[in-house]
Amino acid sequence: MKCFLSFLLLVAFASAQYGPQCPPNEVFLECGTACEPGCELPRPDICTLQCIVNVCQCAPGFVRGPDGCVLPEQCYGY
């Protein structure tokens, strides 16, 4: 039983230490934007102040493409 409890504590610590895993070029945000920059609209003019809770969004310098977060210069034909 002690071994099982030790394992649970280790898993809880590791989860708290490293947080959720996001795809490449994305970061985990406790309060993300509702207007994430994308290939179609790299700089939204108007955006709500809505908080999207516990979400992976593009890291700074990247925009949302059809297959994940890419550099703006990788947005061909969007």
**CATH number, domain containing residue 75:** 2.10.25.10
Q: Is residue 4 part of a domain?
A: no
Range of the domain at 49: 22-78
Q: How many residues are there in the chain?
A: 78
Q: What is the pLDDT of residue 78?
A: 60
Q: Is residue 6 part of a domain?
A: no
> What would the DSSP string read from start to end of 19-45?
-----TTEEEEEEEESS--BSS-SS-S
Q: Is residue 56 part of a domain?
A: yes
Split into its structural domains, the chain has a count of: 1
Q: Is residue 52 part of a domain?
A: yes
Does the model's pTM come out above 0.75? no
Q: What is the dihedral of CA 46, 49, 52, 53, to 10 degrees?
A: 160
Q: Is residue 73 part of a domain?
A: yes
Residue-by-residue pLDDT tens, the chain, 78 positions: 454 344 434 444 444 556 799 999 999 999 999 999 999 988 888 999 999 999 999 999 999 999 999 999 999 876
Nearest to 52 by CA among 26, 28, 19: 28
